[in-house]
């Protein structure tokens, strides 16, 4: 994988986020947002950059500081403790950024006490559905109008043991 950095979004990311969204293929836009967003609205960009006590948003940036992936979580909605969504730029897909961002989001969620994770995935998004099966073999998947509602358990102990209790050398 080329050199990337994962960090929390900042208000200064607004123009980079707009470029990132506009650069996604229509297919990738549709898989993430369930519609095309070739001219991203200011409201969508603000939503993706929002961070507060219920929302976390991360980006992966390349060596030039350009956004190549975005991930967000929201606590308190739906049928899970935390809901997540991730999108990776077309040229960066298949290099492990999606799972890396999911891992970072779920680490934060586990620290805040979340026990379940949920996400809505388009039925045709085979790559993400395979990832879900690999990460959470016992996940509950319910098909609803062409989307798959995924709910899975977060292994809090494993996250805390692997990220906090084991020193990294």
Cβ–Cβ under 8 Å, residues 149 and 141: yes
pTM: 0.90
Residue 165: per-residue pLDDT: 46
Residue 163: per-residue pLDDT: 59
Closest alpha carbon to 109 in 45, 149, 40, 54: 54
Please give the DSSP secondary-structure letter assigned to residue 66. Answer: -
Residue of higher predicted confidence among 37 and 65: 65
Mean pLDDT of 41-62: 95
Q: How many residues are recorded in the chain?
A: 169
What residue spans of the chain are helical by DSSP H? 14-23, 26-33, 42-49, 97-111, 126-135, 156-160
For the beta sheet containing 5-8, the strands, ordered from the edge strand earlier in sequence to the opposite edge, are 5-8, 55-61, 67-75, 82-88, 116-122, 147-153, 140-144
Instruction: Give tens-digit pLDDT for 102-123.
Output: 999 998 898 888 999 999 999 9
């Amino acid at each position: 994988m080329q050199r990337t950095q994962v960090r929390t979004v900042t208000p200064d990311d607004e123009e980079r986020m707009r470029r990132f969204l506009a650069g996604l293929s229509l297919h990738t836009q549709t898989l993430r947002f369930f519609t095309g967003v070739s001219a991203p609205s200011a409201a969508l960009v603000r939503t993706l950059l929002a961070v507060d006590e219920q929302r976390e948003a991360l980006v992966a940036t390349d060596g030039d500081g350009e956004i190549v992936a975005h991930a967000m979580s929201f606590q308190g909605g739906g049928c899970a403790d935390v809901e997540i969504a991730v999108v990776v730029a077309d040229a960066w897909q298949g290099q492990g950024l999606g799972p890396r961002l999911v891992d970072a989001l779920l680490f934060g969620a586990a620290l805040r006490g979340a026990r379940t994770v949920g996400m809505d995935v388009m039925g045709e998004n085979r790559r993400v559905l395979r990832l879900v099966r690999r990460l959470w073999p016992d996940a509950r998947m319910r098909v609803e109008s062409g989307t798959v509602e995924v709910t899975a358990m977060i292994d809090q102990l494993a996250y805390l043991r692997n990220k906090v209790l084991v020193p990294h050398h």
